[in-house]
Structure 1
């Protein structure tokens, strides 16, 4: 009788739980899919290397002698200046709002993130018009000083290397502020208290205790800011800085030298690899930078007298210059333009192009990111870590490099499709991938897949693995467990990742300039075109729309930060 009962229980167990081999086979399909996705991200690099090896019809000597040295020098100076400025601003304001209490501190905790909502090319566009010799600022200064003409008095031109460093630093410092503030907030209070008992002043605590512990976070933030600087194309061109990114774009578009542009792009990749290696080297001992004890957060020290107003001013200036002034300018100019001409059908069409393309790309990025992250959960082996890094490689690549590699690969596929269709069907389909926008969507996928993978992984890591085992005993396979367990529990992470990807797709300029189909414009390319022609007022509405949408992830980051660090 017992034997019969045991046999029945075993039979029910076999019915409920799929065999291990079946689960392993199904899981293998997820791994294969994630490997294919990672391969798609790697294709642009291989295409660049292949094209660069073809030579540039004798132009490489000219590029190496006259273009590359100047571009490398300009890029190095720009990145060094932006790195120093973002590290200084981000670390200083993070320490002030974390360790001290002064008027307006609660508002500044989230307001210091607002410059993230404004792309660098929009800030450059706004300040170029505001600080133009005939613009409102210089006109007001001349009126106060009693001058009648710009020939009598004018301020230094913002189109310069110092101007580019200053504007980019004011926009990109939140990349340092976020991780450094998180590091300060998680440091144990007893470290500060011990330093106090040894007679250390608050300023000495910052230099001797807090700053050394925050160096890995500073390195992470600065490396992100520098990669954004390297990726920039609009601000650098508007401000007269001949960076490597501009050299790649002009070598391809102006000189029609695809191989030469590929060779310059590979030189940029060397810089990217060096930045990533430097960041990893700086974090090699990060496990020692934070006390593992669950200590209370650092107590804020109230500032009194003039010091509290100094702290308020130091924290308020980056917000005013990096967000408030450009936003006010864009709002005023957009309202003037709306009163004069309303919303043109062309602008509405470009807004629809931007929304539709970003929405489709966001869905594709989320699906691919979910595939890679879920495969890593099913098979947490070293091989999946390699696939994960391959899939995240595109985010570390400047958009111009990525777009150029995709342009080469997609152009080759389009030529093959054209030859095949001509020989078999006697028709010419044209540029199927590039002309339809598929290549541009591919660029968004490769560029922002890392955001999706990271967001999905953050959601999945909060789900205990015991849930997976329970679902298996109830007869659910891998796909069924994903649908019924993981997706409902990680909806918030998916939504946050989707929002970040959507906004980044809307703001992306470098890849869109190179890969957009003919007669296809987005808000970002519309703004670039109008600013390049000097008709700034025509682009104010498009710029304001991008800024308004860009505020959404800033609100999300502010809510997450306030929920984690409120004390």
Structure 2
């Protein structure tokens, strides 16, 4: 036994040492693409980390003053605003999604894409329009007093400058996100279950509440979570209507009171609310999945219940209400004001505002497309847990309010400016001043943190449609990752890149809080111009810039509607 075992002893040793260890080291080695993805994710997460770190910084009594005076009001208003907005937006979005997906009636083809139009109107713009129309001195109440001879105390009229008013304004422009998700969910549900419910005697209402609605719960929860996060992020609407929330409190604490540490601590609390919304969304959605319809879009169309007569008129009216209230009325009012009065700086000065917006939106789209393409391709090359975690961190900024991101961006940039200035003074007796704070670099950085998720998700979805065999073929021909991306993937990604660029462009055009805080000195955009004029009660003059923002936002809505109408889009 000893003589047979001795020759075998050396054989396993080379296989464990020389044969296997190099392979393990090669498998664990981080590639340049993966390392770059980690660096980008770290930079994107830096503003959020900077805000959270401020919780442990002494505020010199400012925080205790906020906690004993206005903080309870901020918390109560923020919570109530989210609850009311989510309830209203979900009611409109789910109702419209079911009516469009489940019934066939005259005008349905127009209504199904027109229901997305209110998403082109920024929340602060619709608040400006309705405030001017519905206040005591506005045309609606003035007309009522003239017709009926009422005095101030002779009638009751809902106050638009209130928390319920702000919730209604936000719901009118945010419901399309719930509508889009639920419409897709209803259109892809198993037709056999819906038909079985009707065959068992269920009415259309019963089939909706007992079958369709429970099956669409994941989509409803996801849409509601998005509405909640956008509501927490809103600044212009609540500011104009006088509703004090955490977001408006951040602005007031930073700029009016000059307490950046306390403002950052408020922002950290707001991050906690956003994180809670994300956790609740995950818990409520759980592991549920949509039940797809293998028959496709044509079968979904065949399953729609035909309506005619007064029933069709009621459904048309229900679908038309959010379109009229959320788009046609505010857009028509802005158009009238722009024609009658308009911006007094129309001409060279107004052109400067528009060019600033176009320049920032175009530059942000270019940067975000580059980052999204790099990160998406890094995941395609290395789909390991480290890279997946990095991409998860890179996409978290979209769930954060612009005000929080702005505060988080300013904190590290101000530290870098102070550090560089101190070193230059000590070494060369030269003051560098503020190089990064209040610069285009800081503003584009804030946009990157806020909107990278749009670029990343769109590009990843496009990359998933490219078969891996193309990568293998290019690699077999001697092409490296960079060359494969440039010559093989990039031409196939043009459609996805264009869609991502358009949506980023539209979002940056509307973005207000981050632009207002981080922008370079004396830089005005269309959003800032609209906010300043409307805040001063000059809506007639603000109508021109507001209308242009709405007009530019229609482009991505048209593209999105066309994409959803393609076969298999649902």
Deviation of residue 171 (structure 1)? Answer: 1.0
In 2, Cα distance between equivalents of 1:84 and 1:435: 38
Q: Distance in 2 between matches of 1:300 and 1:472?
A: 49
- Alpha carbons of structure 1 residues 27 and 107: separation in structure 2 relative to 1, 3 Å: farther
**Which one of the candidate residues 101, 104, 115 is aligned to 2:104?**
101
1:290 match: 291
Could you say what secondary structure the match of 2:383 adopts?
Answer: coil
1:391 counterpart = 2:394? yes
Using structure 2 for the length normalisation, give the TM-score: 0.91
CA–CA distance in structure 1, aligned partners of residues 256 and 156 of structure 2: 33
Q: Which residue of 2 aligns with 1:513?
A: 516
Of the candidates 70, 92, 96, which is equivalent to residue 89 of structure 1?
92
Say if 1:341 and 1:394 are closer, same or farther in 2 by CA, change over 3 A.
Answer: closer
- In structure 1, the gaps of 5 or more residues are 1-19
2:425 to 411, 418, 422: 422
Identify the residue that residue 545 of structure 2 maps to in structure 1: 542
- Give secondary structure in 2 for the equivalent of 1:406: helix
5 Å matches for 1:300-315?
300-315=304-319
Closer/same/farther in 2, CA of residues 286 and 294 from structure 1, 3 Å limit: farther
Report matched runs for 1:133-172 at 5 Å.
Answer: 133-146=136-149, 155-172=157-174
The Cα of 1:43 is off from its aligned counterpart by: 0.6
Q: How far does the alpha carbon of each residue in 1:82-135 deviate from its partner, in whole angstroms, 9 at most, with x for none?
A: 111111110111101111122211110000000110010111011112223333
The whole-number CA distance in structure 1 between the counterparts of 2:29 and 2:146 is: 74
**Counterpart mapping for 1:198-213 below 5 A:** 198-213=200-215
Cα offset, 1:334, TM superposition: 1.1
Residues 265-280 of structure 1 mapped to structure 2, 5 A cutoff: 265-280=267-282
The equivalences for 1:27-426 within 5 A come to: 28-146=31-149, 155-287=157-289, 289-291=290-292, 293-294=294-295, 296-297=299-300, 299-338=303-342, 341=344, 343-426=346-429
What is the CA deviation profile of residues 145-171 of structure 1, one whole-angstrom value per residue up to 9, with x for unaligned ones? 346x76876833310111111111111
For the residue of structure 2 that corresponds to 1:207, the secondary structure is helix
Q: Distance in 2 between the 1:487 and 1:244 partners?
A: 42
Q: Is 373-382 or 192-201 further displaced after alignment?
A: 192-201
Structure 1 residues 419 and 382: CA distance shift in structure 2, 3 A: same
**How far is the alpha carbon of 1:285 from its aligned partner?**
2.4
TM-score (norm 1): 0.92
1:516-565 Cα distance to aligned partner (Å, 9 max, x none): 12211111111111122112222111101110111111111111122247
- Residues in 1 aligned to 2:569 and 2:59: alpha-carbon distance in whole angstroms: 57
CA distance in 2, matches of 1:463, 1:307: 46
Report which structure shows greater RCO (CA 8 Å, sep ≥6): 1
Distance 1:565 1:84, change over 3 A: farther
Q: Distance in 2 between matches of 1:518 and 1:113?
A: 36
Q: Which runs of 5+ in 2 are unaligned?
A: 1-22
Gap change, CA 1:402 and 1:214, over 3 Å in 2: same
1:465 pairs with 2:461: no
Give me the whole-angstrom Cα distance separating, in 2, the residues matched to 1:52 and 1:342: 44
CA distance in 2, matches of 1:253, 1:131: 30
Tell me how far apart the structure 2 counterparts of residues 101 and 483 of structure 1 sit (CA, whole Å): 46
**1:321/1:169 Cα in 2 relative to 1: closer, same or farther (>3 Å)?**
same
Q: 1:24/1:441 Cα in 2 relative to 1: closer, same or farther (>3 Å)?
A: farther
Secondary structure at the residue paired with 2:57?
coil
User: Could you say which residue in structure 2 is the equivalent of 1:559?
Assistant: 562
Give the secondary structure class of the aligned counterpart of 1:365: helix
- The answer for the alignment partner of 1:529 in structure 2 is 532
Larger deviation: 228-237 or 98-107?
98-107
Offset, 1:434: 1.9
Task: Work out whether residues 185 and 565 of structure 1, in 8 Å CA contact, stay in contact via their aligned partners in 2.
Answer: no
Q: How many residues align?
A: 545
| In 1, Cα distance between equivalents of 2:317 and 2:282 | 34
1:475 is paired with a residue whose SS is coil
| Structure-2 change in CA distance of 1:566 and 1:494 (3 Å) | closer
Is the alpha carbon distance of 1:440 and 1:56 closer, same or farther for their aligned partners in structure 2, counting shifts above 3 Å?
same
Secondary structure of the residue that 1:158 maps to in structure 2? Answer: coil
